[in-house]
Amino acid sequence: MKFPLYVALLNEYLDPFYQTKAVVGGHDWLHVRDVAAMGSKIHYLDFDLQEFEVAALLHNTDRSVALKEKGAEFGGWEGFLRHLLKESPFSSADRDRIVFAVLNHSKKTLPAGTPDLAIALQDADKLVRFRPSNLLYAGAHGGSMGVPAFLSTEPFGFTSTREKDRTSMWLGFMGNLEWVGMLSCDRARELIDPDYLRLFLEYLRAFGRETSEHVGCQNMSELDIKKALGNYYDWAIECAGMAVPSFTK
């Protein structure tokens, strides 16, 4: 089957699962298409754009409740991915590369020798989070899951990137910020829009101020932001055209 027909059929098959069935917040069809569109902007890695588009379309098939149930018919996620690739124009080696990229895209670290396709998918999945829409995604997801905006006791003190430990939306946003340093290289970081990054950081500073005033505690938000950004704190502040508070220097 020719690629244009295959990808059109794949889109047609997957789209309804995201439109009519429950999908974990921030992993809907708009996000999937957003990641797919990032491929053409990633010029610092050597990968096939057609493989990337398909990997992007498949990368959140484990987040749709209905698709997850479908995958069980094929022995799990990997079996389902291979089933969906069965009619694709890709070689066996190509399919292995796509499946590897999809299965590993959310891991914190990738093994040595990882194909550029998997690195590109991982970068793209993070880069699209540095946009205004992510503030909406995170808020809607947190609200639907019963996650509070901030904790009434010890609201600050970011320590963990694991999703299960993000017990407030504030901590979830810190996890997003940490992705700046987890991107594969500086050329990847250059793809973050400075205006969007400034909006994100200014929002977090205002959010931190609100939190401290509500709880009646010292505003430690900038220290959390600095910890989450790690070695890229100064880079992020400069990229966003913002000032570094004196107490963090």
Residue 163: pLDDT band with limits 50, 70, 90 = low
SS3 content of the chain, % helix, strand, coil (to 5): 65, 0, 35
- Rounded to a whole number of angstroms, the distance between the first and last alpha carbons of the chain is 59
**Is pLDDT above 60 for 28?**
yes
In 10 A of CB 244, how many CB atoms?
Answer: 13
- What percent of the chain has a predicted confidence (pLDDT) above 70? 91
Predicted pLDDT of residue 206: 96
Predicted pLDDT of residue 184: 95
Q: How far is CA 72 from the centre of its chain?
A: 25
Q: Calculate the CA dihedral of residues 125, 128, 130, 136 and round it to 10 degrees.
A: -110
**Is pLDDT above 60 for 248?**
no
Average pLDDT over residues 141-145: 66
Q: Please state, in angstroms and rounded to a whole number, the distance separating the CA atoms of residues 233 and 227.
A: 8
Predicted pLDDT of residue 140: 64
Predicted pLDDT of residue 66: 82
Least confident of 24-38, 54-68, 189-203: 24-38
> Which domains are seen in the chain, by residue range?
3-127 (1.10.3210.10), 132-248 (no CATH)
* Segment (H or E) for 32: helix 29-38
The DSSP symbol for 64 reads B
**Is pLDDT above 70 for 246?**
no
